[in-house]
Amino acid sequence: MNSKFDVIVIGGGASGMMAAGHAAERGRRVLLLEKNNQLGEKLALTGGGRCNICNAEENKRLLLKNYGKAEKFLYSPFSQFGVDDTFKFFASHGLPLKIEANQRAFPKTENAEDVIRVLEEYMKKYQVTVQTNAEVKNIIVKNKHITGIKINTKTVSAESYIIATGGKSHPETGSTGDGFHWLTELGHQVAEPTPTIVPLAVENGWIKKLAGIALDDVKITFFGDGKRSFAVKGRVLCTHFGISGPTVLNSSGKVADLLHKGKTTATIDLFPQMDLGKLDKYITEIFDGNKNRNFRSVIKFFVPSGTSLTILSLLPQIDPEKKIHSISKQERKQIVNLLKNLTLTITGLMGYERAVVADGGLAIEEVDARTMRSRKHSNLYITGDLLHITRPSGGFSLQLCWTTGWVAGNNA
């Protein structure tokens, strides 16, 4: 392996591979260091393995509003490499994208491994040297200028260095916050990361019995100490520990505030498009068409697929074998009320191991947005989740990686 390169990239995730590939495309001699034995381990998990590559919002102003206080900071990098560029990049490498609900864009193959393959082929085409199992021991600095990287038992050097190690979400993939430690040692201001876009843990056993089932187009309302706080609509994914899915993930910050104040509960409305009266009429019509069947066999006609047995267990006062013609008006109203108010007790937020995004990171004031270069070290560039930029789930995190990786690779 050469001991001298033009650019060394630390981190073989989304932004690191993009940065390495684009720097090499410019004719730079590039070395990519990855401490795992393969590239893109966290990338392989995104979007449930389908990889939510980006959000397809075409209006840049509206898109950037999803990045909170970093909106103005990101205007320059997104002007250099934005959503359209992401679509063109992957399409030109044989991986066209498709757009789903809430403007979330996925590869048409619905396989995150294909995204990793495209990036690996991109780097290979431009002769990036990739070294896996390369654990960085130390970053060597002299007069605010990085002079080398100590990996394992040797030292490598370059003209420019890009740190793209990611944040602290999913530490099992190797994303353990190493970059935050190095940046702090280099004199940068780094906010302590905390899990922000995370699933919610609940104490109710019935929701855990539905693990793997998605409740589509529902309304979930959150309460703090019995007082209504806020409500959101969308998909709720049931898990063995509680609830997840984009709707829940993007609510976790507000739920965290409620948890700090006291008891936090939630109700799920399976039929938000109907009030109690309309839902009662809807179920009555189904009952009228199935009067001689038992309740167990009819409930599947009006509850989400896969939830029948669990819903029945929440209605112990109604015998599942009872004939529909024998169900009283009062019992029918109990069914309606349950479907409009499935109640959960939230016990907490899941940790880094299940976080989509962990907040915190390098203060963006210490980075030149036009180049992603550190304002403290003239030959250092920082990308992706290392930057202290908040954003919701839905493709915004990976777009941040593609954008900042490309800009760093364009300037290193």
Helix H or strand E encompassing 136: strand 136-142
Q: Where are the domains of the chain?
A: 4-195+358-411, 199-350
Query: What's the pLDDT at 259?
Result: 83
Q: Which fold has domain 4-195+358-411?
A: FAD/NAD(P)-binding domain (3.50.50)
Q: Distances in Å between the alpha carbon of 231 and those of 193, 218, 248, 407? A: 27, 10, 10, 38
- Enter the tokens of residue 259: 């948890």
Query: What's the pLDDT at 190?
Result: 82
Count of C-beta atoms within a 10 Å radius of residue 241: 17
Query: What's the pLDDT at 179?
Result: 81
Distance between CA atoms of 219 and 216, rounded to whole angstroms? 9
Query: What's the pLDDT at 187?
Result: 83
**Ranges of the chain whose pLDDT falls below 70:** 1-3, 167-177, 193-196, 351-360
The length of the chain is 412
Residue written as token pair 């191991």: 353
**Long-range contact set of residues 82-88: C-beta below 8 Å, sequence gap at least 24:** 82/403, 83/54, 83/55, 83/56, 83/57, 83/58, 83/399, 84/58, 85/402, 85/406, 86/53, 86/54, 86/399, 86/402, 87/54, 87/56
Distance between CA atoms of 334 and 328, rounded to whole angstroms? 10
Q: Find residue 362's DSSP bridge partners.
A: 190, 387
Q: Which of 92, 41, 55, 98 is nearest to 400 (CA)?
A: 55
Q: Which of 191, 235, 232 is nearest to 216 (CA)?
A: 235
Tens of pLDDT, residue by residue over 263-306, are 999 999 999 999 999 999 999 999 999 999 999 999 999 999 99
CA 16 to chain CA centroid, nearest Å: 18
Query: What's the pLDDT at 124?
Result: 97
Helices (H), 321-395: 329-340
Strand 30-33 to strand 129-131: parallel, antiparallel, or no bridges (unpaired)?
Answer: parallel
Distance between CA atoms of 52 and 86, rounded to whole angstroms? 12
Q: Find residue 151's DSSP bridge partners.
A: 136, 154
0.75 exceeded by pTM: no
Query: What's the pLDDT at 174?
Result: 41
Burial (CB count within 10 angstroms: exposed 0-12, middle 13-18, buried 19+), residue 306: middle
Largest CA distance in the chain: 86
Decide if 401 contacts 78 (C-beta within 8 A). no
Query: What's the pLDDT at 167?
Result: 56
